Amino acid sequence: MNHDTLSVWYAERRVGTLWRGEDGRLMGFEYEEDWQRHGHAISNSLPFSQRTWPPETLTAHHWFGNLLPEEQARTALIRQLGIPDDDFSLLAAIGGDCAGALTILPPGHAPDSATLSSEDVVPFSQDKLHQWAAFKQRYTLFKETSTTAKPRLSLAGAQDKIPVVWLDEAFYLPRGTTASSHIIKFAVEGREQVIFNELYLNTLAALVGLDCPKTYVRYVDRYPLLIIERYDRQKEGDVFKRIHQEDLCQAMGISRTRKYQEHGGPTFADCIQALREICKPPARSLQQLLRWQIFNVLVGNSDGHAKNVSLLQNEKGKWRIAPAYDLVGTIVLGYDPRLAFSIGEQYNAMQLLTRDWQAFADACQLSYPFIKREIEHMRMRLSEHVDSTDIQHAVAEAGLPKNAWPRLQQQRHHIVKQCKKSAQW
């Protein structure tokens, strides 16, 4: 077996080959001839006008590296797996269920059949779930000693999370390359409030008209879990079908280390222009992106960066913006308050002035009156729902315990304050 190549699959069709460069770290990629004749480009940064991307160009490496966990989640996983800290080794270990439709497997392996059987999933051990939720022995599930296929699960981002199949209130761990249906997010130790906050903001976003996946809270003993329905999966009969996606870092061919504007990443205007070029027709995707940014400003989500915007691809290869995700009130929770995308030259959402939005409009090649109408639209909807009976009922239905609602008061007050300020923009 060649340990320096991996096969990239889209369902049961082979897309191409990923390989490790001579330096042992960088990756190259080449489309399969048949896929290039009859398929569609898997990324806007990997078009069919070219077949091969050598490692030294970094283009393919950036795209596939963006599928992987980051920061402390990556460090913990590598330690548990006992593998070298490089992207190729990590994809070889956990590339079987990535974001989107692709599976990445060793040579000689193919994706599992498109049916879901009892052999494809196993009940998630309550003991392991408890250990993970209680901040102990995370990632031990990747070292199962069972003779069944080990999980091959990859999710980008820094937060601890795991893909699962969630059926009838029971969690199952997908085996091999079986597609998951939901994502479980775990609290950071000492910050369980982030779970309640994200549930609240995801629910609020849906109420004000921002496309957002369904989100729930459940408990393991006294520890809360956030459960998010995957927007890149679709239930068809007894199987979850993968839907292809890429985030804006992948679409623009840049490294995950440049997801923030201040770290050399794209501006919001760059993202607007990318959607104009990629999404056809672009109007609805552009409006969703703009409303997402305004929502982030008003609720205090300073972590809305380029990897937190994704695009979905249909079977004809056409792209549109994906639902919003990772909506967290980072400012209220005490994280870095500087916006991931500036408004004009201003990164502080609480110090915005009319001139900042005018500069923002100019950079995005949008009219300021249009931007102002969108701000007013979001301000009115948020003011209506921030503390309404509808939002209280919706989060309760999603599993928010009664004693958690008062703990969201600071978040609600922040939104009310920002909405009042926005009337002067």
b/e 169-202 (16+ beta carbons within 10 angstroms → b): eebbbbbbbbbbbbbbbbbbeeebbbbbbbbbbb
Q: What is the largest CA-CA distance in the chain?
A: 65
85 is catalytic: no
3-class secondary structure, 180: coil
Q: So what's the pLDDT on residue 407?
A: 95
Q: So what's the pLDDT on residue 11?
A: 86
Q: CA-based Rg of the chain, rounded to a whole angstrom?
A: 21
Q: So what's the pLDDT on residue 147?
A: 42
Q: So what's the pLDDT on residue 120?
A: 72
Comparing CA positions, the residue from 261, 188, 327, 245 lying closest to residue 67 is 245
Give 330's DSSP letter: T
Strand pairing partners for 6?
18
Q: So what's the pLDDT on residue 321?
A: 98
Q: So what's the pLDDT on residue 8?
A: 96
Dist. CA 361–CA 369, nearest whole Å:
9
Residues 6+ apart with CB under 8 A from 374: 287, 290, 291, 294
256: its two tokens: 């995950």
Q: So what's the pLDDT on residue 114?
A: 55
Q: So what's the pLDDT on residue 148?
A: 45
Q: So what's the pLDDT on residue 127?
A: 77
Annotated catalytic residue, options 87, 112, 303, 326? 303
Q: So what's the pLDDT on residue 119?
A: 53
Q: Tens-of-pLDDT digits for all 425 residues of the chain?
A: 457 999 999 988 999 999 999 988 899 999 999 999 999 999 999 999 999 999 999 999 999 999 988 777 788 778 877 888 899 999 998 887 778 889 999 988 887 655 544 457 788 777 777 777 776 555 544 554 444 444 444 454 445 778 889 988 999 888 766 788 999 998 866 678 999 999 999 999 999 999 999 999 999 888 899 999 999 999 887 778 899 999 999 999 999 999 999 999 999 999 999 999 999 999 999 999 999 999 999 999 999 999 999 999 998 999 999 999 999 999 999 989 999 999 999 999 999 999 999 999 999 999 999 999 999 999 999 999 999 999 999 999 999 999 999 999 999 999 999 999 999 99
Give the burial class of 146: count Cβ atoms within 10 A of its Cβ; 0-12 exposed, 13-18 middle, 19 or more buried: exposed
Strand pairing partners for 166?
171
Residue ranges of the alpha helices (H) in 134-211?
193-207
Q: So what's the pLDDT on residue 345?
A: 97
Give 175's DSSP letter: -
